[in-house]
């Protein structure tokens, strides 16, 4: 009942906010090693970019999930898809990933409040061991901060 009312209002509750560091392509593994050494980060999972698996020696990292204390930090290689969050002048970019069961509602609410939607809502590639299957949309807020609103990771669904 409460959930029903929430959805009518276009509201969404967020299961997680995960900051995502997007580093220049090919640097993500180095970044993961650095965060382990510098902050004692623990690597929970890593998903490589499918397109590079076959033809590249070092695959791009679509998403590595680290744990620092009790918090999640995602580290990703920059790809064509990550352009809205790309850092300037070859640097790193940061985007906040919000996970929710109601991606459309959350996006609509953010846009109504003044965020600009970037591109269409897409279905993330669900890959072996993926952290990233599900629906995903991107917005930029009025202060220039990039947000990804995505359905919560469903690792189990990938195995089907």
Q: What is the contact surface with a copy of itself in residues (CB under 8 A)?
A: 11-17, 19, 21, 23, 27, 30-31, 34-35, 37-40, 68-71, 73, 87-88, 91-92, 94, 96, 98, 106, 109-110, 112-115, 141-145
Minimal distance, residue 98 CB to a copy of itself, in Å: 7
- Nearest-approach distance from CB 122 to a copy of itself, in angstroms: 20
Nearer of residues 26 and 81 to a copy of itself, judged by Cβ: 26
d(CA 110, CA 105): 9
Nearer to a copy of itself, 43 or 125 (CB): 43
Q: How many CA atoms lie within 13 A of 136 on its CB side?
A: 18
Measured from the CB of residue 141, what is the shortest distance to a copy of itself in angstroms? 6
Helix ranges (DSSP H) in the chain: 2-8, 28-39, 50-53, 103-112, 155-158
Q: Which residues are registered as beta bridge partners of 120?
A: none
Q: Which is nearer to a copy of itself, 40 or 129 (by Cβ)?
A: 40
Closer residue to a copy of itself in complex, CB, 84/125: 84
CB 25 within 8 A of CB 40: no
Provide, rounded to whole angstroms, the least separation between the CB of residue 128 and a copy of itself. Answer: 27
CB of 57 to a copy of itself, least distance (A): 21
**CA dist., res. 87 & res. 132, Å (int):** 21
DSSP code, position 136? E
Give yes or no for a contact between 134 and 150, defined as CB atoms under 8 angstroms apart.
Answer: yes
């Amino acid at each position: 009942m409460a959930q029903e009312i929430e959805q009518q209002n276009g509201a969404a509750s967020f299961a997680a906010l995960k900051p995502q560091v997007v580093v220049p392509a090919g640097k993500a593994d180095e970044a993961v090693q650095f965060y382990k050494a510098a902050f004692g980060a623990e690597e929970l999972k890593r998903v490589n970019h499918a397109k590079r698996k076959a033809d590249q020696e070092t695959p791009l990292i679509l998403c590595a999930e680290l744990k620092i204390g009790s918090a999640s930090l995602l580290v990703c290689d920059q790809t064509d898809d990550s352009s809205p969050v790309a850092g300037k002048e070859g640097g790193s970019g940061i985007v906040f990933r919000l996970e929710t069961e109601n991606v459309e509602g959350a996006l609509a609410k953010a846009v109504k409040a003044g965020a600009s939607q970037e591109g269409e809502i897409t279905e993330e590639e669900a890959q072996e061991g993926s952290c990233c299957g599900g629906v995903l949309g991107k917005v930029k807020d009025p202060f220039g901060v990039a947000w990804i609103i995505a359905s919560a990771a469903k690792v189990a669904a990938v195995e089907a």
